[in-house]
Amino acid sequence: MSQTVDTATAVRTGLFIGGEERFTDEVLKVADPGKPGVIVGEAASASPQDVADAVAAAKAAYPAWAALGAEGRAKAMADAIAGIADDRDEDARILSQENGKVRMEAWVDALVFELRWNLALSLKDEVETSKTLPAIPGAIPVNTEVAFQPLGVVTIIVPFNWPIAILAASLPHALLAGNTAIVKVPPTTPLATARLVQRVAEKLPAGVLNVISGKDENMSGLIQNPDIAKVCFTGSVNGGKRIMEMASKSLTRVTLELGGNDAAIFLEDAIIDDAHLDRLYAAIFDTTGQICMNAKRVYVHRSRLDELVAGLEARLQNVKLGYGLDEGTTMGPLHSPAQKAFVEEIIQEAKDSGAEVREYGELPGGDLAGGNFLRPAIVVDPDPSLRVVTQEQFGPVIPIIPFDTEEEAVRAANDTWAGLCGSVWTADPEAAQRVGSQLVCGYVWVNDHGATRCDLRAPFGGMKQSGIGREQGIEGVRSFQDTRSIAVLDPEALAAMAH
């Protein structure tokens, strides 16, 4: 299909290296997932030399940035974020077009960047907190101060689905800790993120914050350059494995926030009213199901199965598939044709197995015909070996699986490769604590689930193949630091050693 540029909305972004914008002859053409053949805009495509220049710029800026101290860095970062909301409507419009998500979700994506940035700055007094280990006469003849130091140059790689919000789970923490950074924006949704980050970077000292876009094959220098101290990657499990393998060659540290197969468990006494059903619906179908911490499997006590299915069905009957910027659209397209094909495949597999599959909504026509749209679906009581249960769907389909005992539900929820998030739905606080504490994952909600209810102050990350390390909170700052121990001889304790 021929590609046309939407001239009314076309966007062009460059690289931002060492305080200067840089354009390239080769570009990434950014496709509109809702309108086949339409190009939203163009992003610069970095060469290996551009990447090396970004690393060099960040390395050169590091000593002075680290020397500012946490208080000085926090002040500079507060000044840099000022006014970020002025262009939020435009950021949201561009992100909706390149990603496919509805406008309000794109607007929230940009809002969360500012919220996370400011929450990180509230930690400035903890960043350099140290402790002293006193000498022990006759045993340890030194007083040792244990302090924290930044790592150096870090690379932060973000995915297509919530690129701006996800970036802020790590970028402000890395900078506040004293590191300089290179942000690698996603190749299929580079535009809004590059624009926003450049506006911030322009207000910081040159080289402290750099922006790179381009083809993955030119990006190895963001991981394997010996001047890169750490890579923070959010994306797929397979992508995380590749990053870890590449980083191992230079012993570069990694934080990996990867996929999830989150279980939501509805106990026999769960409250299933409109408020709770609205929360569950959002937890499943926000961003057309393309959120790592969305609910991916729902386990419900057999006595409540029909009630829960009916509640979700009532909401799905009102879904309006359409273009993300169009008034009234409640669900946009999937981001890529490949993801659409995968979700279609696992839905068909469920149908072929004899599972009850219910689909809702109407596919849009006109200039949206052939876009990456997919009717949302519920799969009722599927065989647990089906891929719609075992794999992360990352699309608008959810298996709803009945159970008879609490033990059975916990066992099924934990029987997965993933360990990102989970939730327990019950009227009994003790049951919530009992079941929630048994879930093998990094984050648990009670009577709720999903990105809109994630506490942006709390450490976030996965277990098992859902990732390594934590983002957000002081734990997120510490992940971009290491300790430094300075030991000073204590004469009295030393003298005691002689006796």
Are 450 and 291 in contact, with CB atoms under 8 Å apart? yes
Using DSSP's 3-state secondary structure scheme, residue 167 falls into helix
Residue 355 corresponds to which amino acid? Answer: A
**Which of 197, 152, 156 is CA-nearest to residue 43?**
197
d(CA 283, CA 421): 11
**Which of 350, 422, 433 is CA-nearest to residue 386?**
350
Q: What angle do CA 418, 423, 429 make, to 5 degrees?
A: 140
At 140, phi and psi to the nearest 5?
A: -130, 110
- Size of the chain in residues: 499
Residue 104, H or E segment: helix 103-121
pLDDT single digits (tens) 15-31: 999 999 999 999 999 99
β 153-157/228-234 pair status? parallel
Residue 187 corresponds to which amino acid? Answer: P
Which residue's structure tokens are 């839905």?
A: 347
Backbone angle region of 330, left / alpha / beta, with phi > 0 → left and psi within -120 to 50 → alpha: alpha
Contacts for 7 with CB less than 8 Å, ≥ 6 apart = none
d(CA 194, CA 171): 14
Backbone angle region of 282, left / alpha / beta, with phi > 0 → left and psi within -120 to 50 → alpha: alpha
Q: Tens-digit pLDDT profile for the chain (499 aa)?
A: 456 655 455 899 999 999 999 999 999 999 999 999 999 999 999 999 999 999 999 999 999 999 999 999 999 999 999 999 999 999 999 999 999 999 999 999 999 999 999 999 999 999 999 999 999 998 999 999 999 999 999 999 999 999 999 999 999 999 999 999 999 999 999 999 999 999 999 999 999 999 999 999 999 999 999 999 999 999 999 999 999 999 999 999 999 999 999 999 999 999 999 999 999 999 999 999 999 999 999 999 999 999 999 999 999 999 999 999 999 999 999 999 999 999 999 999 999 999 999 999 999 999 999 999 999 999 999 999 999 999 999 999 999 999 999 999 999 999 999 999 999 999 999 999 999 999 999 999 999 999 988 999 999 999 999 999 999 999 999 999 999 999 999 999 998 887 6
Task: Give the number of other CB atoms < 10 A from CB of residue 79.
Answer: 12
Contacts for 234 with CB less than 8 Å, ≥ 6 apart = 157, 158, 159, 166, 169, 256, 257, 258, 292
Backbone angle region of 310, left / alpha / beta, with phi > 0 → left and psi within -120 to 50 → alpha: alpha
Contacts for 222 with CB less than 8 Å, ≥ 6 apart = 51, 54, 55, 155, 157, 182, 184, 212, 228, 231
In sequence order, which ranges of 320-462 are alpha helices (DSSP H)?
337-352, 387-390, 406-414, 429-436
d(CA 468, CA 241): 11
- The tokens describing 249, both together, are 């060659």
pLDDT single digits (tens) 182-236: 999 999 999 999 999 999 999 999 999 999 999 999 999 999 999 999 999 999 9
